[in-house]
Structure 1
């Protein structure tokens, strides 16, 4: 189904897309990345384009920017930027428009920024490419931009390299670069997907404030309806390369007409503020007990005066009951992932105890911990990076158990059974990771962890990079697996809405310390810590609903 729009010339339209069709190479799952799509971006407004992975959102943005891969061709339609037709425009003419008329903020600022150039040099390069100013004026403009996007100590930041900055700071640098030439149209491609809620709220407010102050038009690509509720004036919903619905944000959010839009909105995790009905187990002794755990990172050199000490985990204590899920939430840099890596012994603690099933594993060397490693498994954030691209799925699932003594035939049989259990066809056994979507790869990661029949799963941001509908499926899968196997989970996430859906208890971390622990009803409805209240208030488009304890039904 393609939404039909009449073609009307409007002086208030900054960007007009009409009948755009982009063809995919042969052998892909469909013929077109986008087919016959039309929409308008009005001056001074924010238009959100929303849809799942593969819906054509990013292809649309890249087409407007003129940065499509050579293998993908525009086969029809029109794109007008400020009244100028860009379909068929030459590379030099397109280059003159990029940055000056239309600019883009990319999803992953770390890969979009040059790691070998300082922040200032990259901002300077964007201006120099368009022949703007002298080196002195460009430097002044660069520092002014870094100040404008709210970065601390802009003059020092100007000389920093991207790897020294946090995720939120890198995203602010990307915004500064995009604003360098005062464009009239800003395209933001999933700029807050991997950010924690407070940083996300800051970036959304920054984009909205700059858009209002400068009167820019913003095309904001996202898969999060919470973000749409916070920032959008108009909404375009895309499914498999087609525009299926569009209208004002209030109309689409409150009265969606297309079944796909209704499904997307229904899949958004909501901050419930209610407690799950706990899984009943025979053994009530803690499966995991952490006492006074400490980890400090050291970098730089004492000789050259660059020595830096970062206390990542500071005197953390917590317990996890059998068959329950403990959520660990907090901002980037709060110590969540460091805690997870300590618990699975991917690095050693500097102090404290990790009592797993009654045994203190913190001081154990690898040789002594190896027999227990099967019982403590991890689900990683990036399912693609954590799967060996040169191995088949069958090999990935069986190599660990076979190394621990399981017979090859038995390992293969269990792997095929587990693939079916996590919702994948058993034929996936002979395929490679690149042949699967992000959600499917995450299911493979879960299956790999379950091959060892673990007692404890550490899920580190296991659903943060997934679309809301895929995210809902993975949460449902984890809930079902836990209720069937009784496995205990540490669920690390920066999304408090997700934590409220799947966790029995929640620990809030700030600067390496646990500042508050409790059930979801306390954490989200009656937070005791000022930091927790700040996290809850920053959740986009959400306020918790109060009610008594209920069973979570996925």
Structure 2
């Protein structure tokens, strides 16, 4: 281990993990999800646990919360909370601690929120379970929390169901639920992964403010060293279930002692002022031409005066030539994902045209569009929701190509090849989605989209759930595939650092409209729009970029 455990007195420690090991069932890649890890979370401290997908970060958090699935178990070690070992406590005693003493923000808000309950009811339920307040005070507290985490129109949001919210908005609801009882310890498992840069900065500031105001201790799990540089007091670096280094944030960031820590820091994306070297393609006829595309969401009832009209996509116009990548960036709720769904015809537009290879596909029926679907593929934002939990990964990857006439043996060979390309071992073919981490599930989604060798690839937050080293690998893979096949890409992302590295041109969306468009050098170094300038200023870790760069290249 690169650095020793902190020398502290028991009174200073909010949470102490000692020699914790969590066993995996037989036949897995390794025997332990977590093996002999020890660290202390001090009172009033923000401790960041960082590592790649599958390193054991989330398993550690779930072990502390007593939320491990039945197939894995704590085989040895102790977790001391206020001097009491909570490993082996009864479910009732653990339930009394959750939310009140220690609370958790989960990585995947879609699977953590109840789809049959409104947002307000779910926040109130946290308080009701612990018999806190009256129905009226709980409602007032829920609305205050929605305001605190920056959700728009909190009175209306209180009555919304999770499926009506964007990915970033759902994550903010999770944060509001976790903070409802202002617990002494907050465990945040990738809480800003799905958030745009301005909301991410706001949420990080919110967690910091609450932590300082209440003396709260925070265990923050992340794969982004930019976030670590911004908020951490103490850092624990994990690799394949082991703690390889820990120490003060400045020490680990400036002088990492372990090779793995240095590799993670080197993989952190930074804004580049250089434009991408274009493909040498003779054909510059647009493969995609979008004109005045519009989509408005309508909900509620005009009869009761609760009609809600939201112009998600409002007169969007752009074109995309073969072998080029257009980045679409903007805040959560700006219309980025709605635009992607319109382009792949997962929903119908209200007006406008979508010319794909010269043919307007906007008005085509599903039957008419079916033959074109293999040519336009999408990598979805939420891999948990887009993968069939009852199918093996092999079936998920091969069922589409086989349905379109490709031989099963050929489809299997292609699937195994792509799984290897996106960083998964050969055993992944026969496993189910729930057996993978969030980042690994996203890689499966990328492999599925590439199975058809599409002409247009729409990547909706394709690398948002990936750790920085795998993120760099996937971006390199997408670049390589584009240069080999000439596929065109619409790259939807909230991470401007990623957009600056892979995109030939960037369109900035705000409230359903494109407010600025240009090459990365212009968008990031000389933005014309005040909104674009605000996005660039909010990028996490850019202020600490020189520190990280020095650590990566000592």
Given the two structures, how large is their TM-score scaled by the length of structure 1?
0.88
Q: Which moved more, 1:270-279 or 1:393-402?
A: 393-402
Indicate whether 1:204 and 2:218 are aligned: no
Evaluate the alpha carbon distance shift between residue 206 and residue 333 of structure 1 in structure 2; reply closer, same or farther with a 3 A threshold: same
Q: Which moved more, 1:58-67 or 1:474-483?
A: 58-67
Indicate whether 1:283 and 2:283 are aligned: yes
Evaluate the alpha carbon distance shift between residue 90 and residue 289 of structure 1 in structure 2; reply closer, same or farther with a 3 A threshold: closer
Equivalent in the alignment of 1:518? 518
CA distance in 1, matches of 2:243, 2:72: 19
CA distance in 2, matches of 1:422, 1:158: 40
Equivalent in the alignment of 2:375? 375
Evaluate the alpha carbon distance shift between residue 180 and residue 315 of structure 1 in structure 2; reply closer, same or farther with a 3 A threshold: closer
Indicate whether 1:498 and 2:503 are aligned: no
Over residues 126-154 of structure 1, what are the superposed CA-to-partner deviations in whole Å (9 max), with x where a residue is unaligned? 33433434445544544554454455565
**Deviation of the 1:401 alpha carbon:** 4.5
Q: Which moved more, 1:200-209 or 1:75-84?
A: 75-84
Over residues 326-370 of structure 1, what are the superposed CA-to-partner deviations in whole Å (9 max), with x where a residue is unaligned? 111111221112222222233332222222223333233344444
Equivalent in the alignment of 2:216? 216
Over residues 132-191 of structure 1, what are the superposed CA-to-partner deviations in whole Å (9 max), with x where a residue is unaligned? 344455445445544544555655555554445554444444334333333222111111
Evaluate the alpha carbon distance shift between residue 388 and residue 368 of structure 1 in structure 2; reply closer, same or farther with a 3 A threshold: same
Structure 1 unmatched runs, 5+: 547-554
Residue 38 of structure 2 aligns to a residue in which SS? strand
Matches within 5 A, 1:91-240: 91-151=91-151, 157-240=157-240
Over residues 267-324 of structure 1, what are the superposed CA-to-partner deviations in whole Å (9 max), with x where a residue is unaligned? 2222112111111112122222222222222333444444332222111111212211
Task: Give the aligned length.
Answer: 546
Evaluate the alpha carbon distance shift between residue 339 and residue 261 of structure 1 in structure 2; reply closer, same or farther with a 3 A threshold: same
Equivalent in the alignment of 2:337? 337
CA distance in 1, matches of 2:540, 2:223: 13
Equivalent in the alignment of 2:19? 19
Indicate whether 1:480 and 2:480 are aligned: yes
CA distance in 2, matches of 1:24, 1:6: 29
Task: Answer yes or no: is the 8 Å Cα contact 2:226–2:545 preserved in 1.
Answer: no
Task: Answer yes or no: is the 8 Å Cα contact 1:327–1:506 preserved in 2.
Answer: yes
Q: Which moved more, 1:299-308 or 1:427-436?
A: 427-436
**Deviation of the 1:436 alpha carbon:** 6.2
Task: Answer yes or no: is the 8 Å Cα contact 1:20–1:37 preserved in 2.
Answer: yes
Residue 287 of structure 1 aligns to a residue in which SS? strand
Equivalent in the alignment of 2:77? 77
CA distance in 1, matches of 2:143, 2:325: 46
Q: Which moved more, 1:285-294 or 1:222-231?
A: 285-294
Evaluate the alpha carbon distance shift between residue 188 and residue 400 of structure 1 in structure 2; reply closer, same or farther with a 3 A threshold: closer
CA distance in 2, matches of 1:321, 1:97: 56
Equivalent in the alignment of 1:295? 295
Structure 2 unmatched runs, 5+: 547-554
Evaluate the alpha carbon distance shift between residue 75 and residue 6 of structure 1 in structure 2; reply closer, same or farther with a 3 A threshold: farther
Equivalent in the alignment of 2:549? none
Evaluate the alpha carbon distance shift between residue 95 and residue 360 of structure 1 in structure 2; reply closer, same or farther with a 3 A threshold: closer
**Deviation of the 1:403 alpha carbon:** 4.4
Equivalent in the alignment of 1:489? 489
Query: What is the Cα-based RMSD across aligned positions, in Å?
Result: 3.2
Matches within 5 A, 1:373-412: 373-383=373-383, 385-388=385-388, 396-397=396-397, 399-405=399-405
Indicate whether 1:49 and 2:49 are aligned: yes
Evaluate the alpha carbon distance shift between residue 359 and residue 29 of structure 1 in structure 2; reply closer, same or farther with a 3 A threshold: same
Q: Which moved more, 1:234-243 or 1:128-137?
A: 128-137
CA distance in 2, matches of 1:434, 1:5: 34
Evaluate the alpha carbon distance shift between residue 455 and residue 150 of structure 1 in structure 2; reply closer, same or farther with a 3 A threshold: closer
CA distance in 2, matches of 1:373, 1:162: 28
Equivalent in the alignment of 2:551? none
Indicate whether 1:271 and 2:271 are aligned: yes
CA distance in 2, matches of 1:424, 1:67: 26
Indicate whether 1:314 and 2:285 are aligned: no
Equivalent in the alignment of 1:469? 469
**Deviation of the 1:450 alpha carbon:** 4.1
Evaluate the alpha carbon distance shift between residue 471 and residue 65 of structure 1 in structure 2; reply closer, same or farther with a 3 A threshold: same
Task: Answer yes or no: is the 8 Å Cα contact 1:2–1:36 preserved in 2.
Answer: no
Evaluate the alpha carbon distance shift between residue 144 and residue 429 of structure 1 in structure 2; reply closer, same or farther with a 3 A threshold: closer
Residue 204 of structure 2 aligns to a residue in which SS? helix
**Deviation of the 1:13 alpha carbon:** 1.9
CA distance in 2, matches of 1:93, 1:390: 33
Task: Answer yes or no: is the 8 Å Cα contact 1:457–1:488 preserved in 2.
Answer: yes
CA distance in 2, matches of 1:425, 1:104: 30
CA distance in 1, matches of 2:431, 2:85: 44
**Deviation of the 1:58 alpha carbon:** 1.6
Task: Answer yes or no: is the 8 Å Cα contact 2:4–2:247 preserved in 1.
Answer: no
Given the two structures, how large is their TM-score scaled by the length of structure 2?
0.88
Evaluate the alpha carbon distance shift between residue 161 and residue 320 of structure 1 in structure 2; reply closer, same or farther with a 3 A threshold: closer
CA distance in 2, matches of 1:144, 1:454: 46
CA distance in 1, matches of 2:169, 2:239: 32
